[in-house]
Structure 1
Amino acid sequence: MSVSPNDNVIDDVDQKILEALAENARISLKELAQAAGLSSPSAAERLRRLEERGIIAAFTIGIDPAALGYPLQAIVRVRPLPGQLHVVQRIIQETPQFVECDKVTGDDCFIARLVVRSMPELDTILDKVAEKAETSTSMVKASPVKRRLPPLSRER
């Protein structure tokens, strides 16, 4: 199915639905309908269409890694050695402490977020990667902007 740019244009009601879900993905259908100014059946239909159009890809939860015993987070820029791109990608995918990873353009091939319990754990993980790639690591002090919705209004 091909998607034209207009397929992903949302109106004010869709915007209210997305904002409510971004605030609380466990919101009841009744509360979602109230937030969007719709009846429950209409809200359910809007929700179904947003999913079909691929605008809503998943309902998920936010977890605090520190509460699970991972007080340290790092951003790791990874530049695989020649011929090692797929090996490095597999190492990142198979290491559960890498909780996010983007393949990017530029000098580095990957930018990843890593959660660890300690600096020795960080060293152990980075040592596995360093056999096949150059890395540059920055420790996260704070996250002033958490993952959020992009601008939803049509105004630019």
Structure 2
Amino acid sequence: MNDRPEKLLDNTSWQILAILQENARIPFKELGKQVKLSAPAVAERVRKLEEAGIITRYRAELDLEKLGLLITAFVTFRSFPDKCDELKQLLNETPEVQSSYRITGSDHYIARVSVTSVGHLEQLVDRFIPYATITTSIVLSKPFAERAIGKDIFK
């Protein structure tokens, strides 16, 4: 692909990205109407954004509570010196871990986890005790959902 990512990101592309972040299943015809382009022109722009790696995937967002995952928590891990690789592997293999990040500071990783109960959270934490010092923070509420990334973030 010859287009550099910054070349692809004009105002129309940013509009397309904003709309797709809200509704990735929108038909190209409707997307085109909203950005004042034809469906084939929009499809070509989306294809180029995918090829450039700007759009990396499409996914369904689930209501975790309706699935019985009533508790979300953030867990920080300060790995024991010889256990960092094992901790990273366990984070990757644990289904309750929704996302994890390697971080700076006194801790080494932070993970967002989803569990069915406090007892389930305790069992999850116990799995990690041999690998790290752990701090857990239970989410009480979510003031807003995932924020879409827009052009205004670069101001």
After TM superposition, is the score higher than 0.5? Answer: yes
Provide the alpha-carbon RMSD of the alignment.
Answer: 1.8
Aligned to 2:99: 100
In structure 1, the residue corresponding to 2:76 is in which secondary structure? strand
In structure 1, the residue corresponding to 2:24 is in which secondary structure? coil
| Cα pair distance change 1:109/1:154, threshold 3 Å | closer
Q: Say if 2:48 is the partner of 1:24.
A: no
Conserved in 1, the CA contact under 8 Å of 2:102 and 2:108? Answer: yes
Conserved in 1, the CA contact under 8 Å of 2:86 and 2:131? Answer: yes
Conserved in 2, the CA contact under 8 Å of 1:74 and 1:139? Answer: yes
* Residues matched between the structures, number: 153
Conserved in 2, the CA contact under 8 Å of 1:8 and 1:53? Answer: no
Q: Say if 2:19 is the partner of 1:53.
A: no
Distance 1:153 1:138 in 2: 31
Distance 1:7 1:97 in 2: 34
Distance 1:109 1:66 in 2: 29
Q: Which runs of 4+ in 1 moved over 3 A?
A: none
| Cα pair distance change 1:128/1:154, threshold 3 Å | closer
Q: Say if 2:16 is the partner of 1:7.
A: no
In structure 2, the residue corresponding to 1:78 is in which secondary structure? strand
In structure 2, the residue corresponding to 1:137 is in which secondary structure? strand
Q: Say if 2:39 is the partner of 1:40.
A: yes
In structure 2, the residue corresponding to 1:111 is in which secondary structure? strand
Conserved in 1, the CA contact under 8 Å of 2:14 and 2:150? Answer: no
Deviations 1:61-116 (A, max 9, x none): 11111111001010001111111001111111111001111111111111100111
* Alignment gaps of 5+ in structure 2: none
TM-score normalised over the length of structure 1: 0.91
* Alignment gaps of 5+ in structure 1: none
Deviations 1:36-75 (A, max 9, x none): 1100110011111111111111111111111110010100
Distance 2:6 2:115 in 1: 38
Deviations 1:101-145 (A, max 9, x none): 111111111110011101111111101101110010000011113
Offset of residue 153 of structure 1: 3.8
Distance 1:129 1:79 in 2: 11
Conserved in 2, the CA contact under 8 Å of 1:88 and 1:132? Answer: yes
- Residue type of the alignment partner of 2:5: D
Distance 1:60 1:94 in 2: 20
Distance 1:155 1:112 in 2: 27
